[in-house]
């Protein structure tokens, strides 16, 4: 009996695959690009080629499976909501047909408010879809990813980060590897029912605190500047982001400002994960800045 992972090439999915392989688990991975998962195949992962929205691909992947890790990919198409929910629905139907026992689902803080929160807005419907069809579903409502700071490398290099996020409102921030470890813990243990699980990182941080941490670790001043949502939209469009994607992200920013992206799950020892922002700056941001300056 195998564990199926639908996104083996991303930060969370790849880390999860390796964690499971490290302990001798049989895994099945779905990929449209086999060259991206050659290392996992070499370690023994069964590869099913194709797209996660193809029922035939899902049927092949779920044959002989006991568990599923499902991650909704980032917004990459104008019909993102319909496509994401359709793919999740097909997966839930196929998983039930093949007798999959447990599903670990990546969700997000703010998912509880439903539509109107940008890319997060579809996740409540996806949670509900899996819960409707399968008896054991753990929805990991993860905090803002620390690694997303890599999108701001040019701004960090220039000394000022710009964002619509409030400068002094604390938010939970988590390392993607800690999400993978949380998913692995649920996939490798016995539990029952429908669970909503917060994954909150070591502590909530303001954007000013993030800038201060960057300043300490990089050895030079990094400032934070809040900007209007519309200014962020124009900047994203200027960088070549498609209009539908810019609109989704700006909807999310507005939801943050309105308080609709606040976590519904309280911080507890169980939702608190170990990797600090300092560690991510050392392991990800510093090397990325060095690489970008060298090129």
The pLDDT tens digits of the residues spanning 275-295 come to 999 999 999 999 999 887 665
CA distance 163 to 231: 9
- The predicted model gives 160-174 an average pLDDT of 97
Q: How confident is the model at residue 75 (pLDDT cuts 50, 70, 90)?
A: confident
| Within-domain flag for 288 | no
Token representation of residue 53:
């929205």
Q: Is 179 helix (H, G, I), strand (E, B) or coil?
A: helix
What is the percent of the chain where pLDDT is above 70?
Answer: 99
CATH code, 70: 3.40.50.720
| Within-domain flag for 229 | no
Q: How confident is the model at residue 1 (pLDDT cuts 50, 70, 90)?
A: confident
- With b meaning 16 or more CB within 10 Å and e meaning fewer, what string describes 181-202? bbbbebbeeeeeebebbbbbbb
CA distance 271 to 142: 9
- The predicted model gives 151-177 an average pLDDT of 96
Other residues' Cβ atoms within 10 Å of the Cβ of residue 180: 23
The confidence score (pLDDT) of residue 295 equals 58
| Within-domain flag for 13 | yes
Taking 70 as the threshold, does the pLDDT of residue 240 lie above it?
A: yes
- The CA–CA distances, whole Å, from 194 to 68, 126, 136, 185, 273 equal 14, 13, 5, 16, 21
- The CA–CA distances, whole Å, from 200 to 21, 38, 266 equal 25, 32, 9
Per-residue pLDDT tens digits for 247-280: 999 999 999 999 999 999 999 999 999 999 999 9
| Within-domain flag for 284 | no
Other residues' Cβ atoms within 10 Å of the Cβ of residue 1: 11
Taking 70 as the threshold, does the pLDDT of residue 36 lie above it?
A: yes
Across the chain, mean pLDDT equals 96
| Within-domain flag for 90 | yes
Q: Does residue 147 contact residue 275 with C-beta atoms inside 8 Å?
A: no
The confidence score (pLDDT) of residue 294 equals 61
Q: Does residue 131 contact residue 80 with C-beta atoms inside 8 Å?
A: no
- The predicted model gives 52-77 an average pLDDT of 94
E strand or H helix at 163: strand 160-163
Q: Does residue 211 contact residue 222 with C-beta atoms inside 8 Å?
A: yes
| Within-domain flag for 78 | yes
Q: Does residue 129 contact residue 265 with C-beta atoms inside 8 Å?
A: no
| Within-domain flag for 115 | yes
The confidence score (pLDDT) of residue 70 equals 98
| Within-domain flag for 235 | no
Per-residue pLDDT tens digits for 172-215: 999 999 999 999 999 999 999 999 999 999 999 999 999 999 99
Question: DSSP of 65-79, one letter per residue?
Answer: EEEEEEEPPP--STT
- The predicted model gives 124-146 an average pLDDT of 98
- The predicted model gives 18-38 an average pLDDT of 96
Query: How many domains is the chain built from?
Result: 1
Residue-range definition of the domain harbouring residue 144: 2-148+173-199
Q: How confident is the model at residue 74 (pLDDT cuts 50, 70, 90)?
A: confident
CA distance 250 to 227: 12
Q: How confident is the model at residue 92 (pLDDT cuts 50, 70, 90)?
A: very high
Q: If you ran DSSP here, which 8-state letter would residue 6 be given?
A: S
Q: Does residue 226 contact residue 164 with C-beta atoms inside 8 Å?
A: yes
The confidence score (pLDDT) of residue 292 equals 77
């Amino acid at each position: 009996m195998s564990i199926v992972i639908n996104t083996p090439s991303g930060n969370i999915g790849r880390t999860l695959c390796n964690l499971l392989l490290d302990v001798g688990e049989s895994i099945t991975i779905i990929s449209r690009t086999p060259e991206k998962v050659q290392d996992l195949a070499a370690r023994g992962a069964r590869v099913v080629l194709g797209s996660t929205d193809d029922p035939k691909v899902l049927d092949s992947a779920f044959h002989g499976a006991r568990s599923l890790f499902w991650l909704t990919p980032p917004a990459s198409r104008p019909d993102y909501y319909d496509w994401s929910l359709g793919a999740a629905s097909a997966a839930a139907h196929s998983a039930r047909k093949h007798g999959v026992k447990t599903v670990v689902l990546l969700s997000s803080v703010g998912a509880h408010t439903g539509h109107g929160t940008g890319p997060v807005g579809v996740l409540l419907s996806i949670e509900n879809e899996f819960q409707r069809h399968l008896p054991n579903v753990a929805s990991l409502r993860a905090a803002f990813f620390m690694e997303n700071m890599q999108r701001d490398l040019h701004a960090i290099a220039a000394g000022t980060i710009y964002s619509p996020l409030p400068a002094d409102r604390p938010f939970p921030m988590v390392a993607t590897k800690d999400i993978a470890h949380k998913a692995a813990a649920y996939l490798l243990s016995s539990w029952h029912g429908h669970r909503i699980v917060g994954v909150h990182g070591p502590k909530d941080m303001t954007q000013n605190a993030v800038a201060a941490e960057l300043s300490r670790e990089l050895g030079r001043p990094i400032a934070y500047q809040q900007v209007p949502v519309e200014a962020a939209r124009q900047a994203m469009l200027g960088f070549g982001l498609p209009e539908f994607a810019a609109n989704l992200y700006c909807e999310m920013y507005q939801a943050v400002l309105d308080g609709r992206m606040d976590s519904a799950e309280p911080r507890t020892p169980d939702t608190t994960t170990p990797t600090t922002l300092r560690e991510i700056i050392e392991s990800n941001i510093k090397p990325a800045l060095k690489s970008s300056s060298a090129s």
